[in-house]
Structure 1
Amino acid sequence: MSMEFVSALGLDVGQKRIGVAGCDGTGLIATGLTTIERKSFQQVIAELQAMIHDRQVQILIIGLPYTMDGSLGFQAKQVQKFARAISHALNLPIEYVDERLTSYQAEQLLHAENISPSRNKGLIDRKAASIILQQWLDERKLKERLGAKA
């Protein structure tokens, strides 16, 4: 079964920083790429554009912080607003992934590696972004597998 080539960027959007992850051409493995400091919208777009061009990105996967009861709170609405703006500016489609536990997972992973989360916030953002993207890649793979059976 041939997997089509996929190039996606995973974004963990925060107030101050955006964690960015990319995947290999097979669309199997997500890895943290960088953390963008949010100074201005223009600057964020410029930094993303360079990566999108280099990696021939076709889609943006954005973590949406639902509240624990599954509703969209203030923060999630802010993320959606920002996501729509970058989707428009970069002319790329977006998909959302429920990221309720990704920052926590990222912190746990760092603890396991004996890295202090408070001193490595950029690293947490990148790891969170790669967890977001990995979740999307895994779901995509599962759908393909189920689709192949149908």
Structure 2
Amino acid sequence: MTEPDEMRPRDLRRGRRIGVDVGDVRIGVAACDRDGILASPLETVAAGTLAVARLAEIVDEVEAIECVVGLPIGLSGREGPAAAKIRAFCEDLSRAINPVTIRLIDERMSTMTADALLRQQGRSGVDRRKVIDQAAAAVILETALDAERMRGTAPGEIFERSDQRCNGDS
């Protein structure tokens, strides 16, 4: 018996993507394979003045076709101050990785999911703290990959810099 079309996984766009979980202190980074089958933790980048440059290097190193950034949406479904920080961060990141696209994905519960997965793996509290940001980035990226596979289109919002919106430039 075959599955109805809406239930059958669809093909993903080919190419590596990176997932990014931006925090005030650390930025978790994950990457997937060219077929988008598996998202894996990659690196933790210190937040601060050098973060955007390091993320741009990672995008270049893995030849990413897209950067999936977690957008903290409140449980009410609204964006708050944390989401505004992420959008401001993406302004700088977008300039640094142009023409690679940034896609914003709802990251609700990603850190809690990552923490639960690390606990299931038997990681201690100290050990979890070292990799939680990477694991959250992997959850964000995996969520995006799963959604694209099921829907047949990439999920989330393509980030446009403020100067792109005003000028209509790419």
Question: Under TM normalisation by the shorter chain, which class is it?
Answer: 0.7 to 0.9
Q: Give the match for residue 25 of structure 1.
A: 34
Question: 2:81 is aligned with what amino acid?
Answer: F
Q: Which residue, 42, 47, 61 being the options, matches 1:38? A: 47
Q: Equivalents in 1 of 2:93, 2:83: separation in Å?
A: 15
| Structure having the larger proportion of residues in helix | 1
Residue 67 of structure 1 pairs with residue 74 of structure 2: yes
- Cα deviation 1:21-77 (Å, max 9, x = unaligned): 00001111100100001131xx21221222222211121101111111111011111
Structure with the greater alpha carbon radius of gyration: 2
- The question of whether the paired residues in 2 share the 8 Å contact of 1:110 and 1:117 is answered with no
Question: Within the alignment, does 1:127 sit opposite 2:135 as a pair?
Answer: yes
Q: Is the 8 A contact 2:41 2:138 kept in 1?
A: yes
Listed as ranges, the gaps of 5+ residues in structure 1 are 146-150
Residues 110-142 of structure 1, C-alpha deviations (whole Å, 9 max, x = no match) = 111221345532300000000000011111111
1:76-95 residue pairs with structure 2 within 5 A? 76-91=83-98, 92-95=100-103
Normalised TM-score (structure 2): 0.77
Task: Give 2:55's aligned amino acid.
Answer: L
Structure 2 contact 39–141 (Cα < 8 Å) conserved: yes
Partner of 1:76: helix, strand, or coil? helix
TM-score by length of 1: 0.87
Identical residues among aligned pairs (%) = 30
Letter in 2 for 1:140: E
**Counterpart contact for 1:31–1:130, Cα < 8 Å:** yes
Distance change in 2, residues 1:114/1:2 (3 Å): closer
Q: How many residues align?
A: 143
User: 1:25 and 1:80 mapped to 2: Cα distance?
Assistant: 27
1:4 is displaced (CA, Å) by: 4.0
Distance 1:14 1:3, change over 3 A: closer
The reply to whether residue 99 of structure 1 matches residue 75 of structure 2 is no
Structure 1 residue aligned with 2:23, among 10, 14, 39?
14
Alpha-carbon RMSD: 1.8
Q: 1:148 is matched with which residue?
A: none
Which SS does the other structure have where 2:152 is aligned? helix
